[in-house]
Structure formats: structure tokens, C-alpha cells
């Protein structure tokens, strides 16, 4: 049941609140292995009837989320600017209602659902590799505090029917100059490999190395040297 304060909040947001459509390109630039945007050819091919996903930022933001990603059906084109109608019911962004008109730029599109009845077939999307399988990594590496220093691939943990299973990869930061107590206190994260690559992709050429592989960074050349089998 919606309380009086919630009704009042919705009314204020609808009457006085604002929103903006976020440009996703800065996020894509800092997260190239986990955040993918449509190609330029796909953006140029957009036409009325196609659906696009946009990020709407509330001003003020919601109590739970500062932004919401929602679908919009394109109705008109004005060069790089497009117009459409909102297809989703906002969760907290009461500045908008389903069916409202929205104007946005092609560069703000996150994703596309092509209209099945469009006159021309959509362009083919360029292939890209996804990096969602998981791994264990020092939190210092993940936070960008240190580069990957040592990595090895062991037999993956059995994760059952996980959509993104354990890859077997394990990543350690540079422990030299760290006391044993500090080293043992380092925290690990179990996370998608792509997020490790976003922080440090200097090892990406090794990603398909088999189980039992182990590598350590050479201080002089900054390259990774194969260690003895870790199987």
C-alpha cells in the first residue's frame, strides 16, 4: 500500500523534478571488457519503430537508485537527435511515465531491439568476446592500487549450473615489501575476469593458457614469464 508521503513524493517529482539522459561513452571507455555499446553503423541505421535502451538520471534521484535504464520506441529522427516514447514504467523516476515523449542523441543509446517489420535489415554487429567467467583476484588489483604481478590457472571450482562459471584463473598483486601478516590479510574477490581486465589488461594475451599455467611479471621488461607447472 502506498503511503501519503510516497504519493506526495511522486507528485513533487512529477511536477517539479527533472531528468537527463546519460552519455554512456565515458563508462564504456573505462570498462571496455564489460560494457559494450552499439557500433556506429548500428546507431546510424536506427529508424522509427526500433527500440533503444537509455539511462535516465533523476534530478533528484530516487531513494534506491540514482538512475534507471529503460526502453524507448523511436518515433522520429532529426539528424543525430531522435524522439520516442517511453516503454517502461519507471521504478522511482516519477518525473516520467510510460508513454511520455523523450528526446535523445544517438550517442546515448545503450542497446537496440530492431523492429521486425523494418524495411531494411539491420546491419550486422561486429563480433566481440565477452569475459564474464569468474576468477579470484586480490582486491588491490581490482581497485587499481597495484598491477597483476602473479597469475596462475588451476582446476576450476565446481560451481554447479552457474551461467558464468569459475575460469580457474587466480591473480595476485605485487607482494614484495609486504609483511607476511599484511599479505595474509589481503582480501580476495570472486568476480568476472572482465573486471580484472578493466583494471589491468597487460596479461590479456595469456587468457587462453591451459590449466596448470603460471606466470610472473619480469621487473626489467614488464613482461610475464612462464613459471613451472602449477597443475
* C-alpha span between 76 and 18 (Å, rounded): 22
Mean pLDDT across 144-170:
88
* C-alpha span between 49 and 57 (Å, rounded): 24
Phi, psi of 168 (to 5 degrees): 95, -10
Helices (H), 17-162: 25-30, 40-44, 139-142
* C-alpha span between 210 and 184 (Å, rounded): 27
Torsion 45-51-53-58 (CA) sign: positive
Residue of 45, 104, 41 lying closest to 72 (CA atoms): 104
* C-alpha span between 114 and 81 (Å, rounded): 18
Residue 230 has pLDDT above 90, yes or no: no
Mean pLDDT across 134-163:
88
Per-residue pLDDT of 38-54, as tens digits, reads 999 999 999 999 999 99
Per-residue pLDDT of 5-50, as tens digits, reads 665 465 555 655 688 999 999 999 999 999 999 999 999 999 999 9
Residue of 199, 180, 179 lying closest to 189 (CA atoms): 199
- Model confidence at 1, pLDDT cuts 50, 70, 90, reads low
pTM of the model: 0.80
Among 133-142, 175-184, 192-201, 221-230, the range scoring the smallest mean pLDDT is 175-184
Burial-class residue 96 by CB neighbours within 10 Å (0-12, 13-18, 19+): buried
Element (H, E) at 54: strand 51-59
Mean pLDDT across 149-168:
87
CA 128 from chain centre, in angstroms, equals: 14
Mean pLDDT across 116-129:
86
* C-alpha span between 168 and 157 (Å, rounded): 7
pLDDT of residue 30: 94
The most confident of the ranges 54-63, 83-92, 222-231 is: 83-92
- Model confidence at 60, pLDDT cuts 50, 70, 90, reads confident
Amino acid at each position: 500500500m502506498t503511503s501519503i508521503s510516497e504519493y506526495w513524493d511522486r507528485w513533487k517529482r512529477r511536477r517539479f523534478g527533472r531528468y537527463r539522459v546519460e552519455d554512456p561513452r565515458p563508462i564504456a571507455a573505462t570498462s571496455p571488457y564489460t560494457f559494450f555499446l552499439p557500433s556506429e553503423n548500428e546507431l546510424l541505421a536506427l529508424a522509427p519503430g526500433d527500440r533503444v535502451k537509455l539511462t535516465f538520471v533523476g534530478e533528484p534521484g530516487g531513494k534506491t537508485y540514482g538512475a534507471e535504464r529503460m526502453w524507448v520506441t523511436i518515433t522520429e529522427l532529426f539528424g543525430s537527435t531522435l524522439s520516442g516514447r517511453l516503454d517502461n514504467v519507471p521504478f522511482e523516476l516519477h518525473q516520467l511515465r510510460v508513454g511520455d515523449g523523450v528526446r535523445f542523441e544517438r550517442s546515448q543509446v545503450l542497446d537496440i531491439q530492431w523492429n521486425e517489420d523494418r524495411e531494411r535489415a539491420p546491419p550486422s554487429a561486429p563480433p566481440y568476446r565477452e569475459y564474464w567467467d569468474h576468477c579470484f583476484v586480490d582486491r588491490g588489483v581490482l581497485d587499481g592500487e597495484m598491477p597483476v604481478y602473479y597469475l596462475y590457472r588451476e582446476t576450476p571450482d565446481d560451481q554447479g549450473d552457474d551461467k558464468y562459471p569459475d575460469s580457474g584463473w587466480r591473480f595476485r598483486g605485487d607482494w614484495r615489501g609486504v609483511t607476511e601478516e599484511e599479505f595474509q590479510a589481503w582480501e580476495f574477490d570472486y568476480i568476472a575476469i572482465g573486471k580484472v581486465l578493466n583494471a589491468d589488461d597487460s596479461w590479456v594475451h595469456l587468457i587462453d593458457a591451459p590449466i596448470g599455467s603460471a606466470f610472473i611479471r619480469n621487473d626489467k621488461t614488464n613482461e610475464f614469464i612462464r613459471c613451472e607447472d602449477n597443475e
